[in-house]
Structure 1
Amino acid sequence: MNKTIQSYLDKSASAAPLAVFRIGFGLMMLYSIIRFAAHGWINSFYITPQFHFSYYGFDWVKPLGSFTYLLFTICGIAAFFIAIGFKYRLSIILFFLSFTYIELMDKTTYLNHYYFISLLSFLMIFLPANRHFSIDYPKATDHTLKTPTIPQWSIDSIKLLLSIVYFYAGLAKINSDWLLKAMPLKIWLPSKYDLPFLGNLMQQEWVHYAFSWTGMLYDLLIPFLLIYKKRGSGHL
């Protein structure tokens, strides 16, 4: 057993897949922060309200008044630095702390996606995601950072986290409301009537059912697609 574990821990893989994941993660988080600010949600969600619903044990986490904008700015800059691989370790720690603080300020803004991002960013603190395609990479003085390989477990850990999220999301969709009544997509999709070219399609009942069933199947298949690897491939 110990030899099997050690053998797995000694396995290496290309650093490119994790680097691409890091870039995509950083850019998506940067876009989310910019979008949040552009819609005026920082002010309407955190500054204007006089009362906020705190999480149990986190009563001390409160909006910072006008400094809340600074908190979002730090989070956005950290996300950008993650994407370009600049001071990666410090950047991912700052992102995890600032993003998690933002989510803990008021539980009425809770989304399971945000909880997942906090978990994922915490995991990424311990991963060598700056080994490739990063500003840190060419400036590294440590010879280990110049090796374009990383431990296999660092990629598999993200696969595992994604698999858990998607698989249980798929299981949660196996119910009569989702599959037999196409709810809540039957409510959500018609509201997209103003989408160019697709607005009319969103009104069709068969589309609601198609989205419901394909969404369930997609979520359940993700873990198997992540596990499947073509021979000679080391992709995430």
Structure 2
Amino acid sequence: MSFHFLFKKIDNAQLVVFRMFYGLLVSAECYGAIATGWVKRTLIEPKFTFTFIGFEWLQPLPGNGMYIYFAIMGTLGILITLGYKYRFSAFAFALMWTGVYLMQKTSYNNHYYLLMLLAYIMAFLPAHKDASLDAKLNPKLHSFTMPNWVRWIIILQLFIVYTYASVAKLYGDWLDFSIIELLMKSKSDYYLIGELLQEKWVHKIVAFFGIFFDLLIVPALLWKPTRKIAFVMAIFFHLFNSIVFQIGIFPYLSLAFTVFFFEPQTIRNVFLKTKKVVVEQSTTLPKNHKWVLGILGGYFLVQLVLPLRHHAFKDDVLWTEEGHRLSWRMMLRSRSGTIKYTVVNKETGKAININLNDYLTKKQRRRVACYPDFAWQFAQHLKKDYAKKGEDIQVFVTNTVKINQGEYYEFIDPKVDLASVPWKHLAHNEWIRPSHKE
């Protein structure tokens, strides 16, 4: 097989312009998190945070530390846009964003995960070779070209995200529009469009448009005859999501990705105002091409397999949530639940019902009532909290969960001491009750 296609030189205008958009958007995300109170609500006000399991040591900084943390990330975003100390700025942002991502999951969003992946990808790419302060200060660094695989790594990542998102929507509650109806109920008070969003025909359009857009947008942008109409549809789709679902920078980041689908000279004419770049074609593979192919192959193998892992677990991921994260299952379900924690002293047998208001914020209480890993982690927290008082305890829960517009069913086995069972990352946790599929 010939790999010359991946290593041929192409105009780097797409990557350079995307770097500018990417830096501005991550800066807006970080400064916006401070301005909107997200940092305060998510990382400062809670008495403790629900980290990804295994990262309990990764906790928010005390006092105003997280404000400073996010301000630094916002500044790094500006440096990325300017292309100043790019490698340092991009890697520093990637590491700091990873810290935020792992230290809290109460406000989990798929676009936080995508941004983490993208941050590391961008840190390795030669996005600072043109239209940057680095290239201006060091002319030897300047280049108008990049290897073709740089463009295709972005396109393939997008294709994986969109394709898995489309396939995941092919299930009952999406296809009968009930989940769309449920999602739109909370939008009824929106100015001008609130009532419109409650119409059945709107729900049908949203459901089918969501499936076909996710499935076809990347191929449609790649194919020149459909590129312009696909771009117009992308603008409509992402602005609709931004207005209706208010999901931060994700819609605008998705629009920024479209620069990789247009001709490099078109991008130069619109954004860089530079003359036409003549790219010298080379037929010689670089010495490190096997390393590059090996790393890229390994990365994308993980990206292809990871979203499928829930099929290896017992029961339905929609019910158990095991394997849901990191799999591009976006806006597919709404969960609600009730939960009661009972702490039993092993020595005296005395039982106490826990008042969750003493420990958790409102949003954390909702997560604990609906998601198994949150319920398990809070049991571990209670065990440690009581151990500080010299008490060895058991923790039992009475828990019911409802998926979308279904009925409430018992979710966690009330006879299992959650404080004593381990969490299984790669297997089904048997204390989760079986689903009640109709």
Aligned to 2:131: 133
**Structure richer in helix, relative to its length:** 1
Aligned to 1:85: 83
Aligned to 1:178: 174
Long gaps (5+) in structure 2:
226-261, 268-438
Secondary structure at the counterpart of residue 13 of structure 1? strand
TM-score, structure 2 as length reference: 0.49
Equivalent of 1:46 in 17, 39, 43: 43
Is 1:164 the equivalent of 2:170?
no
TM-score, structure 1 as length reference: 0.88
Contact persistence 1:167–1:222 (CA under 8 A):
no
Is 1:26 the equivalent of 2:23?
yes
Distance 1:48 1:122, change over 3 A: same
Shift of 1:88: 1.4
Shift of 1:62: 0.6
Contact persistence 2:177–2:207 (CA under 8 A):
no
State the distance in 2 between where 1:225 and 1:126 align: 28
State the distance in 1 between where 2:222 and 2:33 align: 34
Aligned to 2:110: 112
Aligned to 1:36: 33
Question: Number of paired residues?
Answer: 229
Is 1:94 the equivalent of 2:124?
no
**Structure richer in strand, relative to its length:** 2
Deviations 1:89-146 (A, max 9, x none): 111111101111111112222222111110111111111112233222322332xx32
AA at the equivalent of 2:263: S
AA at the equivalent of 1:181: F
State the distance in 2 between where 1:193 and 1:139 align: 54
Aligned to 1:64: 61
Contact persistence 2:177–2:203 (CA under 8 A):
no
Secondary structure at the counterpart of residue 124 of structure 2? coil
State the distance in 1 between where 2:192 and 2:103 align: 39
State the distance in 2 between where 1:206 and 1:41 align: 34
Aligned to 2:218: 223
Contact persistence 1:193–1:199 (CA under 8 A):
yes
State the distance in 1 between where 2:192 and 2:39 align: 32
Deviations 1:151-190 (A, max 9, x none): 110111011111101110011111221122251x322334
Shift of 1:199: 3.0
Deviation larger for 187-196 or 123-132? 187-196
- Structure with the greater relative contact order (CA < 8 A, sep ≥ 6): 1 or 2? 1
Contact persistence 1:27–1:79 (CA under 8 A):
yes
Deviation larger for 187-196 or 83-92? 187-196
Secondary structure at the counterpart of residue 192 of structure 1? coil
Provide the identity percentage. Answer: 38
Secondary structure at the counterpart of residue 109 of structure 1? coil
AA at the equivalent of 1:109: S
